């Protein structure tokens, strides 16, 4: 297919596709799907080999958000039965992070619901960053706290944060349809603040909220212009008790096409499969590893994810390998362009984001909160078979373990 040959050539040269080419990827048929995956996979392997970066979410403060983001179970007015708790103590957050790091994660993403942090909140998070780094040499830490005020990004950087996540979520033209309590421009401003402070910027999207192909292309092109190191791709989980509870319009095939389009537009950037992969990609998750080079390990913010052991087995069975703590995520030309994570090379946000609430979207660090499967892959296997066009509500489970509970986390 001439289109795919052209896109591979452009991806290897880091050349931006045309809008028409990006739209054409989303319009390809299921018959052409494996060709699309193979083409985008060439671009992914050129820049990232067969490495998969693992990231781990710690929900520092759950629920009780004053923002009205339609996709978010932590939003103002949500009736979703999620865990609700105030700030974890630094040692509690460090203990939660340790589970993910023991499972192979190289980045910890610290997320808190709310419009944005107060200066006291920045102090809390700074103490948490120190506690985690004191116990885990070389760990990368990404903060996801909402809209930043002047000087807060610099304070987080001084405290040891390597990255900051703040997702655009959808196109500027449709942003007002999902949130009224802040603007698209507010989000862009926070990404700029993170960049300016020397933090590795992480910013992505949520697909499946009723947007058009044009909206998807618009937001990905906007992300390319913002030039984050990491682009988390979340797939909406229509959480009961939220305004988008009935938006079940994604298929595994469409998710793969979206990931391929993102890879072609952002060829040398860390593309992370964030919330919703278990629910919407399901048994086709291994194919998505040919497109993205980063995932979250274990649970998300307010929902449960695939068992960490199943994630590791999937990566190995698909012929990929977990990225080591000493490896730099980004290609050399990007890593040398700024100061960022880990070894102070710009290694990307590593995803949610994920599930930010309020102004930092419920995809904190790239992990859209609803990205859960019923605890383990075994739960899905024991569920009755569902028709291909039926919502898989059986794959969504509220998180009842890990941070904010007395039960061990999933990692």
**Catalytic site positions:** 65, 69, 72, 109, 142, 202, 272
In 3D space, the residue among 195, 198, 335 whose CA is nearest the CA of residue 270 turns out to be 335
- Residue 255 labelled as part of a binding site: no
Q: Are 53 and 239 in contact (CB under 8 A)?
A: no
Q: Are 289 and 311 in contact (CB under 8 A)?
A: no
- Residue 142 labelled as part of a binding site: yes
Q: Are 73 and 363 in contact (CB under 8 A)?
A: no
- Residue 357 labelled as part of a binding site: no
Q: Are 114 and 146 in contact (CB under 8 A)?
A: yes
Q: Tell me whether strands 205-207 and 230-235 are parallel, antiparallel or unpaired.
A: parallel
- Residues contacting 28, CB < 8 A, separation 6+: 36, 257
306-313: Cβ within 8 A, 24+ apart: 306/278, 306/373, 306/376, 306/377, 307/375, 307/376, 307/377, 307/378, 307/410, 308/100, 308/103, 308/410, 308/411, 310/376, 310/377, 311/54, 312/103, 312/104
Nearest-5° Cα angle at 239, 238 to 240: 115
Residue 324 has which token pair? Answer: 């080591």
Q: How far apart are the first and last CA of the chain?
A: 41
Q: Is 342 helix (H, G, I), strand (E, B) or coil?
A: coil
How many helices and strands, by DSSP H and E, does the chain display? 14, 12
Calculate the CA dihedral of residues 75, 189, 273, 181 and round it to 10 degrees.
20
In 3D space, the residue among 286, 253, 259 whose CA is nearest the CA of residue 273 turns out to be 259
Q: Tell me whether strands 321-322 and 367-368 are parallel, antiparallel or unpaired.
A: unpaired
Phi/psi of residue 192, nearest 5 degrees: -60, -40
- Residue 72 labelled as part of a binding site: yes
- Residue 69 labelled as part of a binding site: yes
List, as residue ranges, the binding site for [4Fe-4S] cluster.
Answer: 65, 69, 72
List, as residue ranges, the binding site for [2Fe-2S] cluster.
Answer: 109, 142, 202, 272
List, as residue ranges, the binding site.
Answer: 65, 69, 72, 109, 142, 202, 272
């Amino acid at each position: 297919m001439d289109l795919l040959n052209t896109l591979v050539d452009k991806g290897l040269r880091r050349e931006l596709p045309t809008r028409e080419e990006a739209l054409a990827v989303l319009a390809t048929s299921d018959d052409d799907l494996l060709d699309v995956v193979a083409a985008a996979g060439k671009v992914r392997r050129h820049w990232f080999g067969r490495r998969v970066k693992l990231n781990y979410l710690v929900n520092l403060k759950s629920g009780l958000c004053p923002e009205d983001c339609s996709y978010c179970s932590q939003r103002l007015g949500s009736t979703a039965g999620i865990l609700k708790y105030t700030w974890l103590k630094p040692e509690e957050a460090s203990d939660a992070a340790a589970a993910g790091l023991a499972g192979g994660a190289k980045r910890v993403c610290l997320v808190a619901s709310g419009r944005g942090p107060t200066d006291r909140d920045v102090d809390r998070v700074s103490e948490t960053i120190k506690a985690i780094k004191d116990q885990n040499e070389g760990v990368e830490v990404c903060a996801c706290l909402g809209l930043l005020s002047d000087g807060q990004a610099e304070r987080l950087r001084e405290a040891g944060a390597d990255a900051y996540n703040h997702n655009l979520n959808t196109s500027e033209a449709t942003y007002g349809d999902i949130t009224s309590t802040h603007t698209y421009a507010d989000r862009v401003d926070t990404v700029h603040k993170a960049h300016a402070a020397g933090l590795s910027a992480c910013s992505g999207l949520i697909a499946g909220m009723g947007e058009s192909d044009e909206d998807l292309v618009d937001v990905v092109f906007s992300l390319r212009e913002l030039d984050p190191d990491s682009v988390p791709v979340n797939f909406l989980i229509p959480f009961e008790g939220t305004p988008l509870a009935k938006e079940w319009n994604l298929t595994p095939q469409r998710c793969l096409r979206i990931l391929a389009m993102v890879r072609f537009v952002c060829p040398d950037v860390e593309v992370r499969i964030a919330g919703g992969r278990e629910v919407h990609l399901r048994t086709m998750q291994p194919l998505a590893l040919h497109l993205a080079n980063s995932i979250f390990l274990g649970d998300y913010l307010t929902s449960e994810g695939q068992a960490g052991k199943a994630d590791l087995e999937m990566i190995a069975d698909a012929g990929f390998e977990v990225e080591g703590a000493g490896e730099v995520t980004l290609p050399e030309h990007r890593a040398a362009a700024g100061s960022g994570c880990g070894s102070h090379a710009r290694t990307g946000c590593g995803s949610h984001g994920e599930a930010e609430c309020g102004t930092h979207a419920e995809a904190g660090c790239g992990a859209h909160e609803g990205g859960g499967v019923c605890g383990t892959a075994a739960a899905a296997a024991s569920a009755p078979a569902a028709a291909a066009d039926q919502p898989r509500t059986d794959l969504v489970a509220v998180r009842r373990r890990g941070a904010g509970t007395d039960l061990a986390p999933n990692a």
